[in-house]
Structure 1
Amino acid sequence: MSAQTSNIVEPDKGWRIWWQLTRPHTLTAAFVPVLLGTAMALQYQSINWLMFLAMLVASILIQAATNMFNEYYDYVRGLDNENSIGIGGAIVRNGVKPATVLKLAFTLYGVSVLLGIYICLNSSWWIAVIGIVCMIVAYLYTGGPIPIAYTPFGEVFAGFFMGVVIILISFYIQTGFVNGTSVLVSIPIFILVGAILLSNNIRDLDGDKENGRKTLAILLGREKAIFLLASMFIISYAWIIALILFGVSSPWLLLVFLSSPKAIKATKGFVGKTKPLEMMPAMKATAQTNTIFGFLLSIGIFISNI
């Protein structure tokens, strides 16, 4: 985001401009919670696939719009330039007008609202209230007078809304209720989505500090932030073991441990690194850990419900 490198980044061309603007590597953070919430619902009834698709597309659109708000407001605040790492680059590298990026973000919000209306018509209008809150928080993540992303609370907000809330909505629209098990199973994804944001902030630590941000990584310092990241991975896997030992979930959930090499790679990838470009593989591995962990968790739940 605000971090820089001396390496020149080639501008994207054609459709790639708009594709990169969505920051596609982050979109799995929207896909995984919907898949997991739906998989848990299988224990209680068959899946309404139209509702699943509506929820999935709406979540991805909101995530993409959030990334565009991030692109716009970081540019407006002078945090991004053509050499910044981890951005879509539509404005600073490809010459897209900032207003166009902002309008596109609100357009995606508009489409997600239409999908939300369909979901509410087939479930509950309380979903609309929760959805509006989610969209406001997504906007305020980088918009508003005090962006959430510039505070120590970014990981918590992202993990809670993109993890717990989306999972529970996806579960509710299929079953009509939320139970303790669905809440407990959502916690590891809450942690891992937060880990994605923490890895981003570790990468951008120096640049963010120069621009006056107060992220958790800055407050802790690089070494302690990496230790926290490793702890978040450990807690996520330990949580699954606890769910199995206490009889909440099936041993099939142990499938998530197939994703552990990515978590190890992510942690080791940050150790001893200070340049943003050097840390990109570690950040990518953090996002992949969430994706693979969530996918395997969904498979384990699906198998246990057969």
Structure 2
Amino acid sequence: MATVAQWVEGARPRTMPTAISPVLVGTGAAIGAGVIAPGRALLALVVSVALVVGVNFANDYSDGIRGTDDDRVGPLRLVGSRLATPTAVRNAAFISFSVAGLAGLTLVSLSRQWWLIAVGLLCVAGAWFYTGGKRPYGYAGFGEVAVFAFFGPIGVLGTVLTQSGTPGALAILAAVGVGVLTCAVLVANNLRDIPTDTVVGKRTLGVILGEADTRKLYAAIVALPFVLGVLGALRSWPLLLGLLALPLAIVLIRIVLKGAQGRDLIPVLVRTSLLLLIWSVLTAVGLALGAYL
């Protein structure tokens, strides 16, 4: 039976920057639009964190029952390691999705953006069918597309909508940045897993592109948010704050392009999540200051 510490590890707390970043940037954009709503921001954060925990447990369950985690180089998986039963891990995913749903309904009722209920249901379905169901889209090379959509436009702009209303151009630009940096986290993960995913027939984008092109893709999408930040700064100069994260981005790009493999990519994965968080904090501050400077 898994210990409490193992359940926490199974929830993959190191992925939490992917949950926090969209809310930070969306809230920064809302403040830049003149609205400060800490209660709604907190609810959005609960929704985002609960969804990410839910998708982590759902992936653990689905990959575990398929046997694709039996030979894994990476974070602990509860089912694959035989530390918890598939049913227990599946139930943990459902509980997390329920928490996200309750917080989401509360947020929607406050903002009166009722159509976001459908978006919330889409997010839960996307989380489950990433590796779940008979034809998981994560096994067909569409994981990065879904991650971009859910963590970029949906996560960031949904946060803006529930706080200050219709997002502006800078919020949209920042949402693209969050989306592609979150994709970079997944690309690093899939790059590491290309050998094992190939063996079990898991056709991630990394498997489809091959190792060399996956490394180039990683470099491109890590660099893109900084280009977007410079473009945004033409309209609001505080967005240049995001460039303070550029040194870390350059280090990570160099490591990946030089051919790091297997366990050597685990620190890259962790530091890409950190890059996402740092860039998001700086960009959120830039968006918030834009209306006052």
Q: Name segments (4+ residues, structure 1) moved above 6 Å.
A: none
Match of 2:102 among 114, 117, 120: 114
Cα deviation, residue 91, structure 1: 2.6
The residue correspondences of 1:1-306 to structure 2 (distance < 5 A) are 14-81=3-70, 84-93=72-81, 95-123=83-111, 124-245=113-234, 247=235, 250-273=236-259, 275-306=261-292
Change (3 A) 1:56 1:102: same
Cα deviation, residue 20, structure 1: 0.6
Cα deviation, residue 271, structure 1: 3.7
Cα deviation, residue 258, structure 1: 1.6
CA contact (8 A) 1:38 1:170 kept: yes
Shifted more, 198-207 versus 178-187: the winner is: 178-187
Cα deviation, residue 185, structure 1: 2.2
Shifted more, 178-187 versus 189-198: the winner is: 178-187
Q: State the secondary structure of the residue aligned to 1:122.
A: helix
- Equivalent-residue separation in structure 1 for 2:260 and 2:82 (angstroms): 28
More helix by proportion, 1 or 2? 2
Q: State the secondary structure of the residue aligned to 1:67.
A: helix
Cα deviation, residue 232, structure 1: 1.2
Letter in 1 for 2:74: G
Q: State the secondary structure of the residue aligned to 1:95.
A: coil
TM-score for both structures, normalised by structure 2:
0.93
Q: State the secondary structure of the residue aligned to 1:86.
A: coil
Cα deviation, residue 13, structure 1: 6.8
Q: Deviations over 1:129-166 (max 9, x none)?
A: 11111111111111111212212221111011111101
Q: State the secondary structure of the residue aligned to 2:32.
A: coil
Q: State the secondary structure of the residue aligned to 2:74.
A: coil
Percent identical? 28
TM-score for both structures, normalised by structure 1:
0.90
Change (3 A) 1:259 1:92: same
- Equivalent-residue separation in structure 1 for 2:61 and 2:272 (angstroms): 25
- Equivalent-residue separation in structure 2 for 1:95 and 1:218 (angstroms): 29
CA contact (8 A) 1:205 1:222 kept: yes
CA contact (8 A) 1:265 1:282 kept: no
Q: State the secondary structure of the residue aligned to 1:17.
A: helix
Cα deviation, residue 89, structure 1: 2.5
Change (3 A) 1:262 1:151: farther
Change (3 A) 1:301 1:274: closer
Letter in 1 for 2:107: I
Letter in 1 for 2:33: Y
- Equivalent-residue separation in structure 2 for 1:56 and 1:213 (angstroms): 31
CA contact (8 A) 2:184 2:221 kept: yes
- Equivalent-residue separation in structure 2 for 1:76 and 1:274 (angstroms): 30
Q: State the secondary structure of the residue aligned to 1:144.
A: coil
- Equivalent-residue separation in structure 1 for 2:243 and 2:169 (angstroms): 23
Q: Deviations over 1:56-89 (max 9, x none)?
A: 01110000000001101111111113x6223333
- Equivalent-residue separation in structure 1 for 2:148 and 2:217 (angstroms): 15
Shifted more, 131-140 versus 87-96: the winner is: 87-96
CA contact (8 A) 1:193 1:290 kept: yes
Change (3 A) 1:91 1:219: closer
Cα deviation, residue 297, structure 1: 0.6
